[in-house]
Structure 1
Amino acid sequence: MSKRQAEEEHNGDSALKQGERPVATADDAEMGQFEDDYEDEFESEDEIMVAGADGEPDEEEGGQENGIDKMEVDQQTFIPGRHKLDAGQVLAPDPSTYEMLHSLEAPWPCLSFDVLQDQLGDGRARKKYPATVYAVAGTQAAQGHDKENEILVLKLSKLAKMDRPEEESEDEDDDDDENTDPILETRGIRIGTCTNRIRAHQKSSDDPSKPATTYTAAMTESGQVLIHDITPHLTSFDTPGFALDPQSNQPIHTIKAHKKDEGYAVAWSHASQPTRRLLTGDTRGNIFCTTQNADGTWTTDPKPFTGHKGSVEELEWSPTEANVFASASSDGTIKIWDTRSKAHRPALSVKASEHDINVLSWSHKTAHLLASGDDAGQWAVWDLRQWKPNTKPSPVASFNFHKEQITSVEWHPSDDSIVAVCAGDNTLTLWDLAVELDDEESQYTADVKDVPPQLLFVHYMEQVKECHWHPQAPGQLMATGGSGFGVFKTISV
């Protein structure tokens, strides 16, 4: 289904199908202006803007409780994604459940983005504030505004933790200005077409004083895949007086192998691999592999990987096998491939759902675990060691908590039991697969119907589409959707 068809079929609170463009409500606002849900005004100066932080409770009723005790359970407890708000009601976050919470509203939705690694350190202290995030996103402007579509390179800084006056800071490394307003800086690359999916690839320089080379691949509505080198854009954020060459906004390569077939699946090979490779999948079920040559040019294998009978919705490289990747499709199958196969046919195929499978995530800590999410709201975890030819394995875990399509699923980068899931019911949920209740604990959750004990946290975000863990800041998440961006960290992860 094309996005233009999707616009006609989806409106209001309808769930967003993988890759579909929502009906935007921006009133011709200029790209790059962001405002805070909790502030009436915002300041803008060129491409550097101050955006306020979320987290203050709303005066209206509708907040949710964090943690449920049997003696306090009310059968009318509001569960986001299950219950509907009445007219005039709004949900307000409970500040006590967040360590950090910020939101930014963009004039046009950015339904796909990627978090970038930076030079600020790996595994930085959990209480190191204010925080900084670098990211890249692609816009999906409404019909008639296609020329306004951009790739946005973002730097979010001065992201403060929740203001708790009654608590004294225990982190001596916290900056004195941790409570200042957040700052957003943007660099726009005008591309004139909607971005269905965008992913970044970064490879560190041999010179530690130089930033990593950062490429982005944007799968567009037109069917082309645009590869940009955004290293200069990132450099411009932190180098006073740095002037961007207009030529740096031009793609360094355009993949046209998909012709006019749009797609939603993009996956870069891992940074540890010597050769950059890019997988892209389209609605016809074709998967193409593009390789960067030694001289910096790019070559796309004209022969696609084929075998899916529906749209390729997601692609994931194996974390341990350089030539192995997985694909998910609207035909309900997950397939495992080996790029060395001359036949370009799948090595394994599993019927994993009776519905479209929208998303995949391959655990980087436990390489035999693969998570998937489908159109019916079910997400599952698979043990690839059980996948054999001519067999139909069962997932090692599956959850039906969400009642709308799963739009994003991602393993925690350093904890193989924690998974983040986004769904069309306006919720982003966090799960701890290590949780197993014993008989004594079960009695305290008996009155909480249909809520699995593995459910750790529910974050409400309108039309949430995609989420990513920050690879260097433990427990920090960034999400995007029809309502803009959110950056947060809960006290539970």
Structure 2
Amino acid sequence: MSSKKRAAEDDGVPSKAVDRGQATARQGAVQEEMGEFEDRWEDEIEDEVVDGDAMEDEGDEFTHAPEDEDAPEPRKQTYLPGVVMGPNEQLVADNSVYPCLHALSYAWPCLSFDILKDELGTDRTGFPQTAWLVAGTQAGDVPGHGRAKDEVVVMRLSGLSRTQHDDDSDAEAEDDDVDEDAKLDFLTFPHVGAVNRIRAAPTSATIPDPYHVASFSETGKVHIWDVRPLIDTLSGPSKPRQKTPVHTITAHGRNEGYALEWGRSGLLTGDVDAKIFLTTLTPTGFTTSQAYTSHTSSVEDLQWSPAEPTVFASASADRTVRVWDVRTKSRKCAVSVRAHDDDVNVISWNRNVDYLLVSGGDEGGVKVWDLRMFKSKPKPVAHFTWHTAPITSVEWHPSDPSVFAASGADDQVTLWDLSVEGDDEQAGAAPLGPDGNALDVPPQLLFVHQGQKDVKELHWHPQVPGMVVTTAADGFNVFKTISV
């Protein structure tokens, strides 16, 4: 995917840290914008009182409305993108499908981020929650002030509370974990050039010092930072921190890139000139290898194998997914498969089933691959065409081997479960599309989340089951759904 595709449109500077706390969707149902919903067909009511007795005295007929007759409630149905709405229908948010939903914004769009492992424990299910992120800005131009300075930002999102529903009991509504505004605290490093992609190094049970993060700049340089001092400062008393990277990779020259991935064997970086480099940490410092060359167009994404530390996969604008082994002296790929009919933008390797890989293409398709079939029958085991614009991010659930999430330039974030089978009764009750025919809703589609504009990246929180964090041109969303 080119830089033009990923660049954000800057309509000004939003507020620093605002939690709108509004629901943006129901399960399989979404609202198109954050905010309150109003009835645009509501009639204006004037303050005029009519006295029935007075009308009777004047000889006019006056009939009182029946008191026992209840007005029927309007029929509710699920909304999906593409559903045709009637002239008197409106979207109403259903908060009950979100155990947790928050929206926060930063001063500049952060179109790439990663979740930092913290020391607050694993499998956290209570509320409120705290999440640590590292993000990179794409500030762009400020009218009348020239180019704004970009940053690497370490964020602490605290007070991520349970969403209050209309049907919550009074006792539940008084709980401390309900309907609180989330808070965004942050510290920054200055960064030369917009941040195309940012990734945090994997950590062991004890978070190491330093805590390395890599950022790929639009200038073509890859910087490695130690963000541990920022984490410590946000967690407690202020500590001295260095504002320069601990190492800079210059092997890409002036070729920018978007592919960046840490693994046990080192840091992989891929650029628009179709080259891939491996940088490793040695006793004498960081060392970058010679280029891995097989792709014929921009390298868009990279993923290490969860089972074999020397094997990785790459996605490219040449429409292929390739598998490599860093032990190969030729630096050529071992396997190549034409995965999509357009650019392959993103891939994700299943951490629980190491032969499954999901890919997302510029045509909007999402495909699931069995890597064991790459050499003999390279056909996807699943192919979903729900999204109507380029796929911008995909990621497998950290613990459920059949669930993954995807985001697209159609402003949708979708959750999928490969283990779900079709139901004939549900198929017959499918909502109607613009052409009057039933929408082809895949049974594996669990949830559709909307409300953000230009969604660029998503990640599952590895320590808070079911929590998804997304970033877009208008800020971050943090949510959990009842479907996962």
> Does residue 441 of structure 2 align to residue 451 of structure 1?
yes
Partner of 2:100: 100
| Residues 92 and 155 of structure 1: CA distance in aligned 2, closer, same or farther (over 3 Å) | farther
Cα separation, 2, equivalents of 1:429 and 1:130? 25
Q: Return the letter of the residue paired with 2:446.
A: L
Partner of 1:417: 402
Residues 141-184 of structure 1 show CA distances to partners (whole Å, capped at 9, x for unaligned) of: 1136544210110000011111136435999xx98365443221
Cα separation, 2, equivalents of 1:266 and 1:159? 29
Cα separation, 2, equivalents of 1:170 and 1:57? 25
* TM-score normalized by the length of structure 2: 0.82
Partner of 2:233: 236
Cα separation, 1, equivalents of 2:317 and 2:98? 36
| Residues 165 and 83 of structure 1: CA distance in aligned 2, closer, same or farther (over 3 Å) | closer
Gaps of 5+ in 1: 7-16, 40-53, 63-71
Q: Return the letter of the residue paired with 2:275.
A: N
Aligned length: 429
1:217 corresponds to which of 205, 214, 218: 214
Residues 434-483 of structure 1 show CA distances to partners (whole Å, capped at 9, x for unaligned) of: 11024455444486422111111100121111100000111000000111
Conserved? CA contact 1:202–1:212, under 8 Å? no
Partner of 2:63: none
Task: Name the SS for the 1:264 alignment partner.
Answer: strand
Conserved? CA contact 1:361–1:372, under 8 Å? yes
Conserved? CA contact 2:198–2:213, under 8 Å? yes
Cα separation, 1, equivalents of 2:35 and 2:168? 16
Conserved? CA contact 2:305–2:312, under 8 Å? yes
Q: Cα distance, 1:362 vs. partner?
A: 0.3
> Does residue 278 of structure 2 align to residue 289 of structure 1?
yes
Conserved? CA contact 1:292–1:298, under 8 Å? yes
Cα separation, 2, equivalents of 1:324 and 1:170? 53
Partner of 1:476: 467
> Does residue 119 of structure 2 align to residue 119 of structure 1?
yes
Where does 1:55-74 land on structure 2 (aligned, <5 Å)?
Answer: 57-59=36-38
Conserved? CA contact 1:462–1:481, under 8 Å? yes
Cα separation, 2, equivalents of 1:446 and 1:79? 8
Conserved? CA contact 2:365–2:384, under 8 Å? yes
Where does 1:40-55 land on structure 2 (aligned, <5 Å)?
Answer: none
The structure having more radius of gyration, on CA atoms, is: 2
> Does residue 391 of structure 2 align to residue 406 of structure 1?
yes
| Residues 306 and 163 of structure 1: CA distance in aligned 2, closer, same or farther (over 3 Å) | same
Where does 1:66-85 land on structure 2 (aligned, <5 Å)?
Answer: 78-80=79-81, 82=82
Conserved? CA contact 1:361–1:370, under 8 Å? yes
Conserved? CA contact 2:129–2:161, under 8 Å? yes
Q: Cα distance, 1:348 vs. partner?
A: 0.2
Q: Cα distance, 1:108 vs. partner?
A: 1.5
Query: Aligned-pair RMSD on alpha carbons?
Result: 2.9
Conserved? CA contact 1:216–1:228, under 8 Å? yes
Task: Name the SS for the 1:426 alignment partner.
Answer: coil
1:132 corresponds to which of 130, 133, 137: 130
Residues 380-418 of structure 1 show CA distances to partners (whole Å, capped at 9, x for unaligned) of: 000011111xx4511000000111000000000000111
Task: Name the SS for the 1:346 alignment partner.
Answer: coil
Q: Cα distance, 1:340 vs. partner?
A: 0.4
Partner of 1:338: 325
> Does residue 9 of structure 2 align to residue 34 of structure 1?
no
| Residues 38 and 383 of structure 1: CA distance in aligned 2, closer, same or farther (over 3 Å) | closer
| Residues 83 and 37 of structure 1: CA distance in aligned 2, closer, same or farther (over 3 Å) | farther
Conserved? CA contact 2:160–2:182, under 8 Å? yes
Residues 207-251 of structure 1 show CA distances to partners (whole Å, capped at 9, x for unaligned) of: x5x766421110110000010010111111212x23233x2x210
> Does residue 358 of structure 2 align to residue 361 of structure 1?
no
Matched residues, percent identical? 43
> Does residue 320 of structure 2 align to residue 323 of structure 1?
no
Partner of 2:45: none
> Does residue 374 of structure 2 align to residue 387 of structure 1?
yes
| Residues 361 and 91 of structure 1: CA distance in aligned 2, closer, same or farther (over 3 Å) | farther
Q: Return the letter of the residue paired with 1:317.
A: W
* TM-score normalized by the length of structure 1: 0.81
Of the structure 1 ranges 257-266 and 99-108, higher mean CA displacement relative to structure 2 is found in 99-108
Conserved? CA contact 1:34–1:104, under 8 Å? yes
Conserved? CA contact 2:342–2:361, under 8 Å? yes
Conserved? CA contact 1:377–1:404, under 8 Å? yes
Task: Name the SS for the 1:237 alignment partner.
Answer: helix
Partner of 1:186: 186
Where does 1:257-336 land on structure 2 (aligned, <5 Å)?
Answer: 257-269=251-263, 273=264, 277-295=266-284, 297-301=285-289, 303-336=290-323
Of the structure 1 ranges 458-467 and 196-205, higher mean CA displacement relative to structure 2 is found in 196-205
Partner of 1:435: 420
Residues 343-377 of structure 1 show CA distances to partners (whole Å, capped at 9, x for unaligned) of: 00000000111100000000000000000000000
> Does residue 240 of structure 2 align to residue 250 of structure 1?
no
Conserved? CA contact 2:321–2:338, under 8 Å? yes
Q: Return the letter of the residue paired with 1:244.
A: P
Cα separation, 2, equivalents of 1:85 and 1:404? 22
Conserved? CA contact 2:468–2:478, under 8 Å? yes
